[in-house]
Amino acid sequence: MRKIARAILPVALVALLAGCSRVAPPLSIAELEAKAAAGDTSAYKGFVEYLGSSRTGDEQRRAYIALVAAGQKAAAEVRQALESSDPAVREHAFALAGNLKLEGTFDLAAKTIADTSLKRRHSAAWALGELGDERAIPILATAMGSDPDELTRREAARAINRFEMRATPALLEQLPKAKTEYRGTILRVLGELRDPAGKAAIIEGLKDPATREDAVWALGSMGKAGDFFDPTPYLSDPDWNVRVMAARAVGLIGIKGAKPTLDKMRMNDPVKAVREWAARGLALIDGTPSHYRTTSGELESPDNLYH
């Protein structure tokens, strides 16, 4: 009997240890939501895990909403997630940090943007805009002019807009350093800022065919800010994209001397988009509807983009 007992004991011990070593399955998103609703802050770490790449879009959405609702109570978990090796977790964490204006985010966001080996860095650029720290301005300007990721450059442009005219000096400094194919976005942002200090750089951008379309767009966005500049000559540019932007620009600036050219363009330009924008430019100048010739030869009013 004792021999049997001695034989059974090791088996039982192994079984007990095996049972103790099992890892409990993670809580479902619904269970975490219930814990958070009951005031259990341990749910926040679980929500962060549900932001990961392996989770479904619905799970990520619910976890993100829960962390937004938690606000500063989840600050520690969100801050830790900013350095996650999972790009999806990191992306959501920077979005949360920007929304929550989370302290300690700036340095990590700047570090993340600088590391071009990281994926989904655009959310760090967005966060810098939301945080509102002016130290972000040169970082964002540099990203606009050199970052290889299009989405990061785009978010940097949106973010730097938040700083309004305070961003002009950094953009002007970055412009000659930027890759040629990225300069157009810098010119467009200068136009959106409507800072007279940026107008000379925009006009200079007209000389380069690679940035001319963007420069004309920027002049239109600037309107009457700064010294007067007439973009009417660009209504006859060989590039139809430039002609579109010129029609927009003379309309937004209100250059009445461009009306005869616009009147011909709305009927005779070989490109439909140009004819449409010529009619739109006329309408902006006159304050009355205008028409353009469609491909079938009928007259039609363009959609009103400037209500």
Over residues 123-128, mean pLDDT = 98
pLDDT at 22: 60
pLDDT at 303: 84
pLDDT at 307: 46
Between CA 130 and CA 78 the distance in angstroms is 16
Contact 249, 231 (CB under 8 A): yes
Per-residue pLDDT band at 25 (split at 50, 70, 90)? confident
Contact 186, 173 (CB under 8 A): no
pLDDT at 24: 66
In a domain, 127, yes or no: no
Q: Is 302 left (phi over 0), alpha (psi -120 to 50) or beta?
A: beta
Cα dihedral 245/251/255/256 (nearest 10)? 130
Q: Among all chains, which residue has been given the structure tokens 């059974």?
A: 8
pLDDT at 14: 47
Contact 161, 167 (CB under 8 A): yes
The answer to which of 155-169, 241-255, 289-303 has the lowest mean pLDDT is 289-303
Over residues 209-230, mean pLDDT = 96
Q: How far apart are the first and last CA of the chain?
A: 96
State the pTM of this model. Answer: 0.86
- In terms of residue numbers, what domain contains 295? 241-307
Number of domains in the chain: 1
Residues pairing with 292 in the sheet:
300
% of the chain with per-residue pLDDT over 90: 89
pLDDT, tens digit, 9 for 90 and up, residues 55-69? 999 999 999 999 999
